Chain A
Amino acid sequence: AQSVTQLDSHVSVSEGTPVLLRCNYSSSYSPSLFWYVQHPNKGLQLLLKYTSAATLVKGINGFEAEFKKSETSFHLTKPSAHMSDAAEYFCVVSAAYQAGTALIFGKGTTLSVSS
Chain B
Amino acid sequence: GAGVSQSPSNKVTEKGKDVELRCDPISGHTALYWYRQSLGQGLEFLIYFQGNSAPDKSGLPSDRFSAERTGGSVSTLTIQRTQQEDSAVYLCASSFAGTSGAYNEQFFGPGTRLTVL
Contact = CB atoms under 8 A, between A and B. Distances in A.
Interface of A: 32, 34, 36, 42-46, 49, 51, 90, 94, 96-108
Nearest to B100: A99
Interface size class of B (residues with CB under 8 A): 20 to 34
Contact of A44 (B30, B98, B102, B108): B108
Contact of B31 (A100, A105, A106, A107): A100
Given A43-B108, A43-B109, A102-B59, A96 B97 contact: no
A76 to B, nearest CB: 17
Interface in B41-91: 42-45, 48, 50, 56, 59, 91
Contacts of B104: 94, 99-101
25 contacts: A36-B108, A42-B110, A43-B108, A43-B110, A43-B111, A44-B108, A49-B105, A51-B103, A94-B104, A96-B101, A96-B103, A97-B101, A99-B98, A99-B100, A99-B101, A99-B102, A100-B30, A100-B97, A100-B104, A102-B33, A103-B33, A103-B93, A105-B35, A105-B42, A106-B42
